[in-house]
Amino acid sequence: MVQTSEQVWLVRPWGRLSVWRSGVGLAVCAIHGLGGSGRYWSGLAPLLEPPRTLLAPDLAGFGQSDKPASIRYNRQFHLAELENLLEQLAPDGPVVMIGHSAGAVLAALWVALHPDRTAGLAVISAPYPNPGLMPDIARQVAERPPEDRGTVAPLLARIVWPILSKIAIASRRFPADVVHDFGRQSLGARADTMWSLLADVSVLEQLGALRDLPSSVPTLLLTAADDRYAGQHALDRWERHLPNAEVRFAPSGGHQFLLRAGFEAVAGWINSIPVRSDR
């Protein structure tokens, strides 16, 4: 790797947050999706031109971050953790926010709250929030208080099997560390995060603030032409929030086209964002 990656641990009241950091300079904060971790972005790090710093957290409840059962892993919680991460690791200057899948929704929400700190936003393979995106089983788990989740073992087991089957398939296609972290996620965290970012339509009101993002802020909508989860139908809706965005399509690769084809498309876009000498 051109840039050496290190794992940083941030101590929080609920436990430890794992962050993968590489490079020095303009902060690029990369948010993984429901099946991922910060190591999802390891293929991006060597493609970034200095001076740029890649900050890729394992969201709480995912990857190597702690997973306390008492936490409600909703978008307010995740946004607060992003705030703390950036206060500690990138306290000065603007931030380029990028995200994949559900992580793209979280990245967009942060930008909606902090347009003045935003140097760029890339929304990659992002489904458009819709109650129909959440399976009924996961919805039932998300609606239970955290302290009662031990009583829903049969429901959790019915969520586990599809995840295990995806791990088995992914293990033959994707980097081993990414697959390993996929199997580490907390099912409660997955259900909460899925609900609050993809199925709770109140998120759309918060995303509405993106329409006021200055046209001078670079924005990118990137997806694969054959993405069943975030194809043209989702892209059309995202364009309403980001009317000035550049729209790009990968020719193939589905929802995980970055892992299949590489991170060159998003790396080139990030590298095109000017880095001011006073940063």
Q: What is the pLDDT of residues 46-72, one digit of tens each?
A: 999 999 999 999 999 999 999 998 899
Q: Which domains does the chain have, with CATH numbers?
A: 5-271 (3.40.50.1820)
With 50 as the cut, is the pLDDT of residue 137 above it?
yes
* Centroid of chain to Cα 262: 17
Q: For the chain, how far is it from start to end, CA to CA, in angstroms?
A: 25
Alpha carbon distance 174, 87 (integer Å): 32
> Which range has highest mean pLDDT (160-169, 182-191, 243-252)?
243-252
Mean pLDDT for 139-160 is 57
Angle (deg, nearest 10), helices 187-194 and 153-170: 90
Q: Share the mean pLDDT of the chain.
A: 87
Q: Which of 72-76, 97-101, 156-160 has the lowest mean pLDDT?
A: 156-160
Say what the pLDDT of residue 233 is.
Answer: 87
Please tell me the number of Cα atoms within 13 Å of 90 on its side-chain side: 28
Task: Give the residue among 271, 201, 205, 207 at the shortest CA–CA distance from 242.
Answer: 207
Higher model confidence: residue 258 or residue 138? 258
Lowest mean pLDDT among 119-128, 175-184, 203-212: 175-184
Q: What is the structure's pLDDT at 162?
A: 53
CA 42 to chain centre: 14
Is residue 279 over pLDDT 50?
no
Q: Does the structure show a pLDDT above 80 at 151?
A: no
What was the pLDDT predicted at 164?
A: 47
The band of 266, judged by pLDDT with boundaries at 50, 70 and 90, is very high
Top pLDDT among 279 and 212 is at 212
pLDDT at 186: 85
Segment 240-246 mean pLDDT? 95
- Are the C-beta atoms of residues 25 and 50 closer than 8 Å to each other? yes
Residue type at position 54: L
pTM of the model: 0.89
